[in-house]
Amino acid sequence: MGMTEELTNWTHEQKCRKAVAALTKNSFTALYCATPQEAAEYIISNSADAATVGFGGSMSVAGLGVEQLLRDQGKEILNHGNPALSRDEKMGVMRRQLTCDLFLCGCNALTLNGELVNIDGIGNRVGAMIFGPRKVVVVVGRNKLVDGTVQDAIIRVKNWATPPNAKRLGYNTPCASSGFCSNCNSPERICRATTIIDRKPRLTDLHVIVVNAELGL
């Protein structure tokens, strides 16, 4: 590792640790992970009592490679992103995710004040983050950190997460074509439910892993 990379990594670490401290102050169970491997190990260690594991469609979680590991342990995997599912089957999986034992998802933006900011098109992911599953683990890469307000976090989501996600998912929206948010009213618009979780929901065992790596969009 060269000096520039080492110093950049150190700077990111300080921001990650600041976010973890803020999350802890806000009553979340929060952990700093230096590598994606550490994050994967944390998820596996927290899945021991889980018979059903839901996946919220996160590229950050997918990048950790835990789905197959959990499947090999005999867990029932609830992943609505399986292309083999029909529309009705997909809806059934999303509903079951709301009451699964362990729900894994990413986060669109995390402020250094410990606020989780997300924008959903359907609401299944943010719904499960807030209430329902026995345990929720949110994976946040350092690229999702925002040194600013909740409004800055929303801007981050609409500028850097929504357009490429709309393109990835094959939606016919202006941002999927232009790469820029136009605050559209498209029938396929995916910015429909904005949530701000600024304190741990009282009845949800919500863990946030902040990883010193670029994960997801």
Structure tokens at 74: 């005999």
Q: How many domains does the chain have?
A: 1
In the chain, which stretches have pLDDT less than 50?
none
Range of 49's domain? 3-211
What's residue 30's pLDDT? 98
The answer to whether residue 120 sits within a structural domain is yes
CATH of residue 110: 3.40.50.10420
**How high is the pLDDT of residue 1?**
78
- Rounded CA separation 171/187 (Å): 10
According to the model, what pLDDT value does residue 182 have? 96
Q: Are 132 and 83 in contact (CB under 8 A)?
A: no
Q: Is residue 205 part of a domain?
A: yes
Return the pLDDT at 164.
97
Establish if 139 belongs to a structural domain.
yes
Query: Does some domain include residue 216?
Result: no
Q: Judge whether 81 lies within some domain.
A: yes
The angle subtended at Cα 126 by Cα 42 and Cα 150, nearest 5°, is 95
Q: Torsion angle, CA of 31/36/38/42, rounded to 10 degrees?
A: 60
User: Each residue of 9-63: pLDDT tens digit?
Assistant: 999 999 999 999 999 999 999 999 999 999 999 999 999 999 999 999 999 999 9
